[in-house]
Amino acid sequence: MDRPEGVTALVWLVRTRHLVPLWAALLCLCATVAIWGRNLLLLPGDQATLPLAILAPVPYACVTALAVRSSMMDAERVAARKVHVIDLACVALTSVIALLSAVAGLLLSDTAQLIPLVLRNIVFWTGVACLSAALLGRSLGWVLPVVLLVPLYESGRGGRGGLVPWWAIARQPEASTWAWAATAIVLALGLAALLEAGLWRRGPLRLLHRAHLGRAQ
């Protein structure tokens, strides 16, 4: 489908990537955190309670990862030489909106002390979601975060002395240098996997498209 005349490239991109509904979903998450973020949640097998806002990073990340979907993905892979740059821009812009909306929700729910932890975990789970999108498909970025959420929080409970296992990154305290470093690594790996997957898939599609044009001529 050709882009309608008079519609700018930015508006066309927002429409094909369905960014407006995603941003609306982030605002809904912001409202959810603002209203119920202070409610205490008791995890299975855990005696300690956690504010509901602690789990907000997972849906934030799942929504953010959906920014790489497109209703014209096949056309983009064939025609756009820098579709990976478009992917990165969409994820970056949606991530900024997600982080800002999370901060707003935490402030409104009077849980400002959780801002560093929640923001770090949004970045961490976004990396996991990007990895999921790269491995399973652009519409399935939510799968790995959802699958890993309960095992990580359940198995990552602090043992004797209250020490959290090193691999339970999302459960590490906000002051943990290791958790921040691991979060940066996970995000980098997720973005790299997502962009590499896009480049790899676009290569064969370009060859098929050229072969089809050659036969038509």
DSSP string, 110-143: T-GGGHHHHHHHHHHHHHHHHHHHHHH-TT-TTH
154 pLDDT band (50/70/90 cuts)?
Answer: confident
State the average pLDDT over residues 112-123. Answer: 96
- 202: pLDDT confidence band, cut at 50, 70 and 90? very low
Binned at pLDDT 50, 70 and 90, residue 183 comes out as: very high
Average pLDDT (184-194) is 93
For residue 127, pLDDT over 50 is answered with yes
Rounded distance between C-alpha atoms, residue 125 and residue 130, angstroms? 8
Whether the predicted pLDDT of 172 surpasses 50: yes
pLDDT at 84: 74
Query: Could you give the angle at which helices 83-108 and 57-65 cross, rounded to 10 degrees?
Result: 150
Short-list 81, 83, 82, 102, CA closest to 17: 83
User: 124: Cβ–Cβ under 8 A, 6 or more apart, which residues?
Assistant: 57, 61, 169, 170, 179, 182, 183, 186, 187
Q: How many residues does the chain have?
A: 217
Distances (CA, A) of 150 to 6, 37, 93, 97, 203: 48, 19, 28, 26, 37
User: What's the pLDDT score for residue 206?
Assistant: 43
Label residue 164 by pLDDT band (50, 70, 90): confident
Single pTM value for the model: 0.81
Q: Are 165 and 176 in contact (CB under 8 A)?
A: no
User: In terms of pLDDT, which residue wins out, 108 or 217?
Assistant: 108
**18 has a pLDDT exceeding 90:** no
Give the integer Cα–Cα distance in Å for 191 and 159: 33
More confident residue, 93 or 83: 93
Alpha helix (H) residue ranges in 19-114: 19-36, 57-65, 73-79, 83-108
* Contact criterion met (CB below 8 Å) for 161 and 91: no
pLDDT digits (tens, 9 = 90+) for 31-79: 999 999 999 887 665 566 788 899 999 999 999 999 888 766 555 555 4
Over range 151-166, report the average pLDDT: 71
User: What mean pLDDT comes out for the span 106-122?
Assistant: 96
| Angle ∠(57,62,64) on CA atoms, nearest 5 | 90
What percent of the chain clears pLDDT 90, i.e. is strictly above it?
48
Contact 122, 187 (CB under 8 A): no
